[in-house]
Amino acid sequence: MTQHRSIHLFRKGLRLHDNPSLVGVLESSEFVYPVFILDRAFMEGAMRIGVLRWRFILQSLEDLHHRLQALGSRLYVVQGPCLGVLRRLVAQWGVTQLSLDTEVEPHYLQQDQEIQALAGELSLTLRTAVAHTLYDVRRIVRANGGQPPLTYKKFLKVLSGLGEPSQPARDITAEDFQKCRPPLEEKGRCGVPSLEDEGRYGVPSLEDEGRYGLPSLEELGLHTEHQVLWPGGETQALQRLHTHMESQGWVNNFSRPRTIPNSLLPSTTGLSPYLALGCLSARTFYHRLSKIHAQSKNHSLPPGSLQGQTLWREFFYTIASATPNFSLMEGNPICLQIDWDQRKDLLHKWTMGQTGFPWIDAIMTQLRQEGWIHHLARHAVACFLTRGDLWINWEEGLKVFEDELLDADYSINAGNWMWLSASAFYHQLPRIFCPVRFGRRTDPTGEYLRKYLPVLKDFPSKYIYEPWKAPEEVQLQAGCVIGKDYPLPVVDHKEASQKNLEMMTQVHNQQESTARLTRDVVDDPMKMRLERNDTVEDEDGTPPTKQRRPDREQRAAPGREADTDDDSRDTE
Ligand code: FAD
Ligand code: MG
């Protein structure tokens, strides 16, 4: 077998476990350079990255570097434009093979094409593997006749024909790197590039080892005082996975609709930042869950189970990979075209946690300070911004989430925003979350609100979710006058949500053929008849609409089971 001189290029997938392309490159090379190219223009052009996520990325790279060092290697971090840097490193190190993970988002597809062209030009062997998702999502699309399955139910049906996701790749050892150690001492191959090189490739030269080091947050011109609650990196990811997997009962009983959005510590796994950057392999997670389920007589099932959550991830990755403009409204064939209001002032208040609804404002504050909020908390603020109260385009909310979330993810973020704004996937229109009752149900005394909105901390529980209703003396006693120390509500929820429901119903009726794309067709005519008579109303006193009650999967928002999703029946 040819013994290559190789670069393994990390993009996402910042890990050593379940890293099939790295295994492959170690098995076929005389030496391997693990490289991360910090191409800031590319990274920030692809998606917004706020300071918390930059910090998380840098921590993850540092952890990767240390893990590689422990195996006798290191991470070579180089700043600059990806293609220019690669071209220079290939020349400098005499590289013959390049390996990297296959990614499916549009910005990576574009980069892949450029890398392929470069490999062709420089006669490099290109080695790729799918490592970020459970399956090769292109295979799922093929198995569904070339189109992505657009409902979770259909998606699960397609998966059932594909069998289980493949097992994680074998662990990488010090021996692997031992035999692939680059000849650092050899001049010429790894030495300093000439000025001529520098000019030719348009990137700074690597004068010394120090140049391969990781920049600090400050060196990137960024700064934050917010506490680190989610340290980046594979080491943390595996520790957190391990801790959760030790609670086998918790894993087996996990049903996301029953988890609590306003607990002071996450009630779900909190693994999303690690999965998003690939510090944790989704396959490793999935198969660990399978093992635990195999040992139990009874366990929860998708969509609410933990495996169900990993499948929601896969679902959105699959659709996003085959849908143009997935993160936009216009030009996105599955997304309803809605004439949203342009209200910069309201958008700003929502972003800054100044809507006057403590439940919404506390969530947005947690998001800005910590970079993570619970799934149902995401439901609350996303519904409020869009179809519930403010009638603002979901793309605006998506951008704020991209900026603030540690787990910001092109496919999952856009898929869920379309869901929550009822622009696709979700059709149970009258179920609008109430920004007062939703949070109160699981935290009646408002501990979560007191933590994130200290201005309200002395309000009596009775009023804390709607402080504008508190008598003046109560406000004075709490040291917080509403309208002065904390804002009045920006909308009348009842009025706004009624009006928005009418508009949204009209949109769905007018664009029925688009709406239908992401709605399950009821295949059983008998069931269909029954469901037609079962109009959507009551529960919360919302006026009946002509809509049919869709079947179970549709009634369930992402990750919820239809029979237990009472949080969403919260219209006032
Ligand atoms: P757990 O419940 O422990 O689930 C385990 C894993 O399953 C998660 O880490 C995640 O990778 C996956 N998962 C869970 N729920 C979903 C879902 N609904 N869709 C797809 N995958 C899911 N998640 C992101 O990872 N990145 C995002 O940018 C993102 N944006 C969102 C935007 C909105 C408006 C909403 C409503 C949800 C969004 N989610 C996003 C999905 C979900 O809220 C988070 O994945 C989850 O809350 C992360 O917490 P966890 O790891 O504790 O989840
Ligand atoms: Mg259930």
Buried residues in 105-133 as b, exposed as e (16+ CB within 10 A): bbebeebbeebeebbeeeebeebbbbbbb
What integer is the mean pLDDT of 502-525?
Answer: 87
Atom of ligand 1 nearest to the CA of 310: 7
State the Cα–Cα distance between residues 401 and 175, nearest whole angstrom: 42
State the Cα–Cα distance between residues 473 and 476, nearest whole angstrom: 5
Establish whether residue 568 lines the binding site of ligand 1, counting it when its CB lies within 6 angstroms of any ligand atom: no
Question: Which pLDDT tens digit goes with each residue over 243-256?
Answer: 999 999 999 999 99
Give the confidence band of 182 by pLDDT, cuts at 50, 70, 90: confident
The predicted structure's pLDDT at residue 524: 42
The predicted structure's pLDDT at residue 568: 40
Return the best residue to mutate from 286, 394, 412, 423 for the ligand 1 pocket (most ligand atoms within 8 A of CB).
412
The yes-or-no verdict on residue 562 having pLDDT over 90 is no
What integer is the mean pLDDT of 262-266?
Answer: 93
Establish whether residue 312 lines the binding site of ligand 1, counting it when its CB lies within 6 angstroms of any ligand atom: yes
Buried residues in 394-428 as b, exposed as e (16+ CB within 10 A): bbbbbbbbbbbbbbbbbbbbbbbbbbbbbbbbbbb
Interval between CA 272 and ligand 1 midpoint (Å)? 6
The predicted structure's pLDDT at residue 210: 66
The yes-or-no verdict on residue 201 having pLDDT over 50 is no
Establish whether residue 411 lines the binding site of ligand 1, counting it when its CB lies within 6 angstroms of any ligand atom: no
What integer is the mean pLDDT of 65-74?
Answer: 96
Give the confidence band of 183 by pLDDT, cuts at 50, 70, 90: confident
Establish whether residue 24 lines the binding site of ligand 1, counting it when its CB lies within 6 angstroms of any ligand atom: no
Q: Are 39 and 144 in contact (CB under 8 A)?
A: no
Q: Which ligand is nearest to the CA of 552?
A: 2
Give the confidence band of 520 by pLDDT, cuts at 50, 70, 90: confident
Query: Whose C-alpha lies nearest to ligand 1, atom 20?
Result: 313
Establish whether residue 381 lines the binding site of ligand 1, counting it when its CB lies within 6 angstroms of any ligand atom: no
Least confident of 25-39, 222-236, 400-414, 549-563: 549-563
Interval between CA 257 and ligand 2 midpoint (Å)? 7
Q: Are 66 and 74 in contact (CB under 8 A)?
A: no
Query: Whose C-alpha lies nearest to ligand 1, atom 14?
Result: 309
Return the best residue to mutate from 240, 309, 404 for the ligand 1 pocket (most ligand atoms within 8 A of CB).
309
The yes-or-no verdict on residue 558 having pLDDT over 80 is no
| Helical axes 358-370 vs 394-404, angle rounded to 10° | 40
Atom of ligand 1 nearest to the CA of 282: 11
The yes-or-no verdict on residue 12 having pLDDT over 60 is yes
Q: Assign 34 to helix, strand or coil.
A: strand
CA distances from 350 to 67, 308, 367, 432, 572 (A): 41, 31, 12, 17, 20
Percent above pLDDT 90 for the chain: 85
Place of tokens 């490099």: 124
Query: Whose C-alpha lies nearest to ligand 1, atom 8?
Result: 272
Q: Are 376 and 339 in contact (CB under 8 A)?
A: no
Establish whether residue 423 lines the binding site of ligand 1, counting it when its CB lies within 6 angstroms of any ligand atom: no
Atom of ligand 1 nearest to the CA of 557: 18
CA dihedral 75, 81, 83, 85 (to 10 degrees): -50
**What is the CB neighbour count within 10 angstroms for residue 224?**
14
What integer is the mean pLDDT of 3-22?
Answer: 97
Establish whether residue 275 lines the binding site of ligand 1, counting it when its CB lies within 6 angstroms of any ligand atom: yes
What integer is the mean pLDDT of 471-476?
Answer: 98
Interval between CA 79 and ligand 1 midpoint (Å)? 30
The predicted structure's pLDDT at residue 211: 76
The yes-or-no verdict on residue 409 having pLDDT over 90 is yes
The yes-or-no verdict on residue 194 having pLDDT over 90 is no
Cα 565 versus chain centre, distance: 22
Q: Are 150 and 326 in contact (CB under 8 A)?
A: no
The predicted structure's pLDDT at residue 1: 62
- On average, the pLDDT of the chain sits at 89
State the Cα–Cα distance between residues 293 and 300, nearest whole angstrom: 9
The yes-or-no verdict on residue 324 having pLDDT over 80 is yes
Question: Which pLDDT tens digit goes with each residue over 272-292?
Answer: 999 999 999 999 999 999 999
Question: Which pLDDT tens digit goes with each residue over 153-164?
Answer: 999 999 999 999
State the Cα–Cα distance between residues 52 and 494, nearest whole angstrom: 35
Give the confidence band of 205 by pLDDT, cuts at 50, 70, 90: very low
Interval between CA 550 and ligand 2 midpoint (Å)? 18
What integer is the mean pLDDT of 180-185?
Answer: 73
Give the confidence band of 190 by pLDDT, cuts at 50, 70, 90: very low
The yes-or-no verdict on residue 450 having pLDDT over 50 is yes
What integer is the mean pLDDT of 167-182?
Answer: 95
Establish whether residue 417 lines the binding site of ligand 1, counting it when its CB lies within 6 angstroms of any ligand atom: yes
Residue 386 is given by DSSP the state I
What integer is the mean pLDDT of 438-458?
Answer: 98
Query: Whose C-alpha lies nearest to ligand 1, atom 21?
Result: 313
The yes-or-no verdict on residue 115 having pLDDT over 50 is yes
Establish whether residue 132 lines the binding site of ligand 1, counting it when its CB lies within 6 angstroms of any ligand atom: no
Give the confidence band of 130 by pLDDT, cuts at 50, 70, 90: very high
What integer is the mean pLDDT of 339-344?
Answer: 97
Establish whether residue 130 lines the binding site of ligand 1, counting it when its CB lies within 6 angstroms of any ligand atom: no
What integer is the mean pLDDT of 356-379?
Answer: 98
The predicted structure's pLDDT at residue 184: 57
Return the best residue to mutate from 378, 379, 416, 567 for the ligand 1 pocket (most ligand atoms within 8 A of CB).
416
Query: Whose C-alpha lies nearest to ligand 1, atom 11?
Result: 272
Give the confidence band of 551 by pLDDT, cuts at 50, 70, 90: very low
Establish whether residue 313 lines the binding site of ligand 1, counting it when its CB lies within 6 angstroms of any ligand atom: yes
Give the confidence band of 419 by pLDDT, cuts at 50, 70, 90: very high
The pTM of the full predicted model, rounded to 2 decimals, is 0.91
